[in-house]
Amino acid sequence: MKKETGNGLQSLLGQGVECDGSARVEGTLRLDGSFEGRLEVGESLIIGHTGRFVGKAMGRTVVIAGSFEGEVMGTEQVELQKGARLHGDVLTRSLVIEPGVFFEGSCRMEFTDADEARLRVDAAKKGLLEEADEDDDEQGDLVRSLSN
């Protein structure tokens, strides 16, 4: 894997690289080689024109220009670019398909609680924490006004 900083790309599996197994990447990963297995990406997963993926991939945004077979989950968006070939299932809130894409499978655009847990996105808990912070602020204001 290669580290880069200028364009937001943090990891690269280049053309000619073949991997299998499971991997977790905190930032953005570009795949121009071949990967088979399970891949969890914290930010963006980009599968380039020469990239080939078989298995289960998860990320905030997933861009596919190469070959993908399996299950892809994007918490924000999945984008299929011209020339992409996807055989499998998509779970995302937003799906973009350019002309010239081959897509055979299914797409579901509503996340269940189990889906959120699988993607390590606990929106309900985040909302409760924000509400608790607001309640603390309101209680603090009340205490300050009573003490004045």
Q: pLDDT of 73-102, one tens digit each?
A: 998 999 999 999 999 999 999 999 999 999
What type of residue sits at position 142? L
User: DSSP state, 93?
Assistant: S
Three-state secondary structure readout of 20-72: EEEEEECCCEEECCEEEEEEEECCEEEECCCCEEEEEEEEEEEEECCEEEEEE
The closest alpha carbon to 75, from 5, 126, 35, 19, belongs to 126
pTM of the predicted protein model: 0.72
Strand 85-92 and strand 11-13: the pairing is unpaired
- Please state the domain extents for the chain: 11-110, 122-148
* Mean predicted lDDT score pLDDT of the chain: 79
**Residues 65/79, Cβ–Cβ less than 8 Å:** no
pLDDT digits (tens, 9 = 90+) for 94-141: 999 999 999 999 999 877 777 666 655 433 433 444 454 455 455 555
